[in-house]
Amino acid sequence: MPPKKGSGNKGSRKKYDMTEQQWPLWEVFIRSKQGLDHKHAGSIHAADAAMAIENARDVYTRRMEGVSIWVVESKYIHATNPDEASSLYDPANDKIYRHPTFYDLPDELKHM
Amino acid sequence: MDRNSHINYILQLADNALVLGHRNSEWTGYGPILEQDIALSNIALDLIGQARYLYQHAAKLAEAAGTGRVTEDTLAYGRDAWDFRNCLLVEQKNGDWGKTILRQFLFSAWQYFFYEQLQQSRDSELAAIAEKSYKEVVYHLRWSSEWVIRLGDGTKESHGRMARALEQLWKFTGEFFVPAGYEKELTGIAVDPAVIRPLWEDRVGEVLAEAGLEANPGAWMQTGGKEGRHTEELGYLLAEMQFLQRAYPGCEW
């Protein structure tokens, strides 16, 4: 489909604020042709969501990497603290019974 | 139908794409931010890719007419300014980012409707090139429209720059719709500019209105590029672009 009159993302265009010295950072997620999920590709700078999508397209899909793009402003991503890694992740170490590896699979069953 | 007219017409389209592609490539490494540097370089590559298909097509027709050895390279690098048939708009200097964007927008809006029509051409090679290029231009138009609105409707500074750019470039847009002599003989092959004009005016008018910009409707229009009469900018551009092939003809690396 051709772009609608002038722009595709009217609602998301923001007035550029000259007091902001640098455009905000955005995280880019790309879904590839074969992939079922969006994967983190990297980050870009952009003034608003419309520009972020276009910048992501121009920077991360030049070599046919993707068929769908998500962007989210980096400040909205909350992450775990690396200092807490041992208490968060180590307790799973010895719980191998949580893996579904204790079943005898029939031979006819493929792709498991 | 005159074969020379046909070749001249294809060269016009190829020269448009090559010259604007080269102008855009002058920004590579100098874009305002990395993301936009890449965006404009992508567009430059799209345009140079279109130029290659068109030159290859023109070269085939020229060789079939018995003009000796003609290739895409001899057409791009071996002709002088008066042989180039591009419209005057695309050869204008980059100026600031706003002027570059506006030049791209005015041209992409034309190319968008032009390639839409050219897909119906009786020249099946041209129709195929148009079909492939159209998809690229859809994005060029979307991207440049966004920027024209963003800057036109931005700060006092950006608005002022866009208004100045519009004043400088508007006079070169009339040429899109004045058919050159060789165009008139190509019924069924060439696109009738009269069909595109209202579509282009509507689209450009809408985007400019949203950007808070106004073109002078009674402006005098400069023409001549399609017939090989160019502004002085083209000579400098060719001097740089053609230097290597002029100094070392046939050089490859």
CATH value at residue B138: 1.20.1260.10
Asked if the Cβ–Cβ distance from A50 to B146 is below 8 Å, we say: yes
Structural domain boundaries, residue B171: 3-247
Indicate whether A10 pLDDT > 50: no
Q: Evaluate whether residue A89 is within a structural domain.
A: yes
> Bridge-partner residues for A29, per DSSP?
A40, A70
pLDDT at B113: 98
Q: What is the CATH number of the domain that holds A88?
A: 3.10.20.520
Which residues of chain B from 31 to 60 reach within 8 Å of chain A, CB to CB? 33-36, 38-39, 42
- Residue B97 belongs to a domain: yes
Domain that holds residue A26: 20-102
Mean pLDDT (whole number) for B28-51:
94
For residue A7, is it within any domain? Answer: no
In a domain? residue B137: yes
With CB atoms and an 8 Å threshold, state whether A6 touches B145.
yes
CA distance B53 to B188: 20
As a whole number, mean pLDDT of residues B62-85 equals 93
Distance from CA of B7 to the nearest CA of A (A): 30
Q: Is the pTM of this model over 0.80?
A: yes
Q: Is the pLDDT confidence value at A4 over 50?
A: no
Total domains present in chain B: 1
Q: Is residue A90 part of a domain?
A: yes
Q: Which of B39, B149, B210 is closest, CB to CB, to A58? A: B39
What was the pLDDT predicted at A33?
A: 84
Q: Which of A7, A26, A48, A62 would you mutate first to test chain B, the one with the most B CBs within 10 A?
A: A7
Residue A4 lies in a domain: no
* B252 in any annotated domain: no
What's the CA dihedral at B168, B174, B179, B182 to 10 degrees?
-10
Burial B164-196 (b: 16+ CB within 10 A, else e): ebbeebbbbbbbbbebbebbebbeebbbebeeb
Decide if pLDDT at B135 tops 90.
Answer: yes
- Complex confidence, ipTM: 0.75
pLDDT at B2 over 90: no
- Give domain status of residue B111, yes or no: yes
The predicted structure's pLDDT at residue A91: 84
Question: Binning pLDDT at 50, 70 and 90, where does residue A5 land?
Answer: very low
Interface test with A, best of B28, B35, B137, B207 (most A CBs within 10 A): B35
How far apart are alpha carbons A53 and A9 in whole angstroms? 10
In chain A, what residues touch B153 (CB-CB under 8 Å)? Answer: 15
Asked if residue B253 is part of any domain, the answer here is: no
Predicted confidence at residue A9, as pLDDT, reads 45
Q: How many domains does chain A have?
A: 1
